[in-house]
Chain A
Amino acid sequence: MRHLITPQDFTVEELEQLFDLADDIRLHPDTYAHACDGRKMATCFYEPSTRTRLSHESAMLGLGGQVMGFSEASSSSAAKGESVADTARVISCYADIMVIRHPKEGAATVASHFASIPVINAGDGGHEHPTQTLTDLLTIRNLKGSLNNFTIGLCGDLKFGRTVHSLINALVRYENVRFVFISPPELCVPDYITEMLQEKGIPYEEHIKIEDVIGRLDLLYMTRIQKERFFNEEDYVRLKDFYILDAEKMKLAPKDMYVLHPLPRVNEISVDVDDDPRAAYFRQVQFGVYVRMALILTLLKSAGRLPE
């Protein structure tokens, strides 16, 4: 039985199969409309995330399955003090697949150790957010035609931004991917990421300003500076407007440099960028549903809960 806790749970070859399946679902949605008839998915969200939860639910509903769950810890048994381990055991009796989001890092790993159904990590604190990574990879593959040979700029909160960490960990497995980190020093990428890049001999640069590097990027991945990741309000207020991408800065970018963003945005991408054909962040959302459909199918088959 398979789980998705980090993007590394799937090999590059397995990811290619997953993305091929996602593309097939995108092109032939009717073929898959009843693929999960009679199957149930539990969405266990210990912290609010309407977008990620609805994306998973939309994916399951699109496959003909059913969904149930909770969207905050206060409406779950966690409020009574139940452990993640016990919740995973209990949910395994109710559902065929479990999606968990939790503010603590490693919570999905714990769930996968105790569940008897596949577990999808929908975000564990500032640690990993693998389904967003799959979304990002599928989007890049469709925009660029390949997951090899490009320079990607990652901008904003690179310290606490789990989408960034997961994406970097996934992209290092492809050939000739170069990283350009753009962040204030206070929010630079954690040491374990740069250590890993150095160890693998993968080129990376660190910059402060978008304008200095935007002209030589193939992709620009923007992130929000998240209020909930700060310990105090003062730091948040000081840094939140540090990086704003607008139409002026986009003039400096190559004609085929796509802009991605895991959303929700606050003001780090000005609305005047939205109509730019290089703004790909809303297409990214749609790819997120297709890749989650492919993931649900793949994991349910791995658990013997769908025929191969």
Chain B
Amino acid sequence: MLNVGKIEEGFVLDHIKAGKAMVIYRHLGLDKFDSPVAIIKNAHSEVMGKKDILKVECGIDQLDLDVLAFIDHNITVNVIKNGEIVEKRSLSLPKEIRDVIHCHNPRCITSIEQGLPHIFYLADEKKEIYRCKYCDEKYRESARKPY
């Protein structure tokens, strides 16, 4: 059994699909963080069999976790203070997501123009519909998870 020490303040992102911790790592921009980050792969899970876990030592207002709601609703976000879980944070869909998914519309300007950020806005919160900021094309459900 692998033991990773407690963090004093920050987040524990639990129930990440096994093998996908690095995807989350990149989407949250943790590669640009100076704080300690523990990446635990293939941990045992009663429910999932195997799962990944990310532990991030940082101020709890330093990380925008809304993108997780878009990527995977099932990720559990535990907020840690003084070494204890003080909150299980519920995720809300971000109003705008940038460079997480790409527009698949072949007529969209993003299909030919290099260097543009791929921006999607939340067009319908109830139906969880995102549309491309440039061409308004709906992001296809089948391609929804960038996982």
Chain B residue at minimal CB-CB distance from A84: B113
Q: Return B40 CB to nearest CB of chain A, in Å.
A: 40
Say yes or no: is A109 at the interface (Cβ < 8 Å to chain B).
yes
CA distance A135 to B114 in the complex (A): 34
Q: Which residues of B lie under 8 Å from residue A191 when comparing CB positions? A: 138
Residues of B within 8 A of A102 (CB): 109
The 0/1 profile, CB within 8 Å of B marked 1, for residues 83-103 of chain A is 111000000000000000011
Q: Using Cβ atoms and an 8 Å threshold, which residues of chain A touch B124? A: 195, 199
Interface residues of A in 138-181 (CB under 8 A from B): none
B108/A105 in contact, CB under 8 A = yes
Instruction: Assess A105 versus B113: contact at CB under 8 Å? Given A126-B107, A195-B124.
Output: no
- Whether A104 is near chain B, meaning CB under 8 Å from some CB there, is yes
Q: Size range of the interface on A?
A: 10 to 19
Question: Which of A104, A110, A192 touches B136 (beta carbons < 8 Å)?
Answer: A192
B143 within 8 A of A: no
Smallest CB separation, B121 vs chain A (Å): 12
State how many residues of chain B have any CB contact under 8 Å with chain A.
21
CB of B107 to closest CB in A, whole Å: 5
Q: Which residues of A contact B114 (CB under 8 A)?
A: 83
Interface residues of A in 51-109 (CB under 8 A from B): 83-85, 102-107, 109
In the bound assembly, the distance between CA atoms of A116 and B15 in angstroms comes to 47
Q: Which of B107, B110, B131 contacts A192 (CB 8 A)?
A: B131
Q: Return the contact of A104 from the options B108, B115, B131, B133 (Cβ within 8 A).
A: B108
Interface CB pairs A-B, < 8 A, 30? A83-B113, A84-B113, A85-B115, A102-B109, A103-B107, A104-B107, A104-B112, A104-B113, A105-B105, A105-B134, A105-B135, A105-B137, A106-B108, A106-B109, A106-B110, A107-B109, A107-B134, A109-B133, A110-B109, A110-B116, A124-B109, A124-B135, A125-B135, A127-B136, A191-B138, A192-B123, A192-B131, A192-B136, A192-B138, A195-B124
